[in-house]
Amino acid sequence: MKSYKFLLAGLHGLERSGKKDIILDFSNTKKAMPSAMIGLISQLSPEISYLFVAPEDKKLASIFKKNCWEFHILRQPFDDIPKSVSGSTSLIHVMSSKQVHLAVDQVLRTILTAVPGVGRPQLQALEWSLNEVVDNVFNHGGSRNGAYLEATIFKKKRVVEFVVGDSGKGIPESMKRIGIHNAPEALSQSIKEGVTSNKGYNKGNGLFGTSQIAMKSKGHFLMDSGYARLFYNRMNNSVSSSSEKIPFSGTLVHWSVGLDDPDLLKNALVFEGKSHEIYFDFIDKTFDHDEDHYTIFVRDRIGDISTRAGGERFRNLVENLAAAADDGGGVIISFADISVISSSFADEVFAKLAEKRGEEWLRRRVLVQRANDVIQGIISREIASRLRQTN
């Protein structure tokens, strides 16, 4: 994390000397973390064209591609960027405040399909914090190049890590408005409840809530901005901020959230002594629902029905939506406009759910609609076959 700052210092030097073409040569790079890469990419100047040399290390080169770092350094048109369908998301460039919700939705959709058993309060905590941090870029930043955002999902550890970087004026500069002129102090103040440089318009809860969500879920929290860094030390549960020799010309917020505490939202988002309630979230916004059922249209997820990995994503989504529904409700899977499915899809989704959660759960919580006889037959056959093998 320290060393990306040396690279930044070099880049700023070249920029100041008026260079218009800069080669970013990663051929000898052995390791690259999302936080450092977003720190770097968010600082690239729109006026300079960058050339890119890929790492010689094959594995690292593929990480550069998969995370779209290479594409963003070269600023290729968005259509050329492959959409990540794997378990983690790739770097997203948010160019205006209107795009914030699109980026947040994309990240949440990936999380819902990548990790089974994520409770709704945890999802709401992720959605809230991501929205707040990306929103800040457009509220306070004056960034010359929007916001860069990357989420990394650690399925086994059940942790999601976020990095958001911008090239705006930075927290120390914006906090001068309320008379704070010391950079480390500005960072310390910015994560306190109710501290804002924009009284009357903002509440000052975004970074406070986000840092609480990270800390209370045993995650990480770090910010680089101007000549300061703020760091949460998990070992002794303390926050410290220090001044830095090399500045970050903008704001970088790096935090991670554990997914397993159902009380996270209730305990972390407490404003003026009251738990913050969320009445309308990504799930409500995205999935058709009546009082107690969420509907998934298979035709909307065609990409999931041809491979086992796709089937697994679909199954995770079903489990998460079933958990999000009220106890008496569940999920409707609609096969409208679908004439046939593969046995492997039926096995991945229906048979594995029957095996994991029991046939009774599947019958009660997952309703199949508009499935023709062929589809019904394949589903029943796959359930029976898997249950026969395990019994």
Using rule CB under 6 A, residue 216 touches ligand ATP: no
**Which residues, including other chains, have CB under 8 Å from residue 369's CB and lie 6 or more apart?**
295, 332, 333, 334, 335, 336
Between 198 and 233, whose beta carbon lies closer to ligand ATP?
A: 198
Single out the segment in contact with ligand ATP by CB under 6 A; choices: 27-35, 54-62, 130-138, 353-361.
Answer: 130-138
Q: Minimal CB distance to Mg ion: which residue?
A: 206
> Residue 71 belongs to what H/E stretch?
helix 69-74
- Beta carbons of 383 and 359 less than 8 angstroms apart: yes
Between 206 and 310, whose beta carbon lies closer to Mg ion?
A: 206
Task: Tell me the residue type at 377.
Answer: G
**Which residue from 143, 145, 45 is spatially nearest to 91, judged by alpha carbons?**
145
**291 to 280, 326, 330, 332, 351: CA distances (angstroms):** 14, 9, 10, 12, 27
Using rule CB under 5 A, residue 136 touches Mg ion: yes
* Rounded Cα distance, 248 and 170, in Å: 8
**Which residues, including other chains, have CB under 8 Å from residue 308's CB and lie 6 or more apart?**
344, 348
Between 171 and 321, whose beta carbon lies closer to ligand ATP?
A: 171
Between 136 and 320, whose beta carbon lies closer to ligand ATP?
A: 136
**Which residues, including other chains, have CB under 8 Å from residue 290's CB and lie 6 or more apart?**
none
Between 268 and 351, whose beta carbon lies closer to Mg ion?
A: 268
Single out the segment in contact with ligand ATP by CB under 6 A; choices: 11-19, 117-125, 195-203, 311-319.
Answer: 195-203
Q: Which of 35, 251, 316, 334 binds ligand ATP (CB under 6 A)?
A: 251
Report the site for Mg ion in 166-225 (rule: CB under 5 A): 206
Using rule CB under 6 A, residue 175 touches ligand ATP: yes
Q: How far is the CB of 317 from ligand ATP (least distance, A)?
A: 30
Between 132 and 348, whose beta carbon lies closer to ligand ATP?
A: 132
Q: Which of 97, 106, 131, 202 binds ligand ATP (CB under 6 A)?
A: 202
The angle formed by the CA atoms of residues 386, 390 and 391, to the nearest 5 degrees, is 115
* Contact footprint for ligand ATP (CB under 6 A): 132, 136-137, 139-141, 166, 168-171, 174-175, 190, 195-198, 202-208, 251
